[in-house]
Amino acid sequence: MTTILLVIHLLLAIALVGSVLMQRSEGGGLGMGGGGSGGGLFTTKETANLLTRTTAVLAACFMATSLTLAIMANQSVEPYSVLDVEEPQTTPFEATPPELPVGPVPPAEPSAPLG
């Protein structure tokens, strides 16, 4: 269920970005080309209204899937606190230092032939 909802959420995000990028800042949605041809399918105002409504619906669906995913993620994890974890109690004097080599260290053998 979570995977299906996550895929829907990603598709909504891509569609939302596309619908926002198709809008013009001056309010003339899909105003590519700049020509004033009146024979198009939609007028500039109708296209802007359609893109605005589409963006609003996509944003509402995106928020709904975000909240649903957050609620589902919260329910599937059992509560955990860092303070509940018990660490072994050692004092600095009880810890043993690592063994250090005494004297010169011999050179390591090369892994590949040199000649």
pLDDT tens track of the chain, all 115 residues?
889 999 999 999 999 999 999 887 764 555 555 555 555 556 666 777 888 899 999 999 999 999 999 998 888 666 667 777 776 666 656 656 667 667 777 777 767 776 6
Look at residue 10 in the predicted model and tell me its pLDDT.
Answer: 97
Q: Do 8 and 66 meet the contact criterion of CB atoms below 8 Å apart?
A: no
Look at residue 8 in the predicted model and tell me its pLDDT.
Answer: 96
Look at residue 59 in the predicted model and tell me its pLDDT.
Answer: 96
Domain spans of the chain, in order of start: 2-31+42-76
Look at residue 13 in the predicted model and tell me its pLDDT.
Answer: 96
Look at residue 88 in the predicted model and tell me its pLDDT.
Answer: 66
Look at residue 103 in the predicted model and tell me its pLDDT.
Answer: 73
d(CA 69, CA 66): 5
Q: How far is CA 110 from CA 46, 77, 99, 107, 113, in A?
A: 75, 50, 25, 9, 7
Look at residue 109 in the predicted model and tell me its pLDDT.
Answer: 75
pTM of the model: 0.53
Look at residue 76 in the predicted model and tell me its pLDDT.
Answer: 62
d(CA 21, CA 32): 12
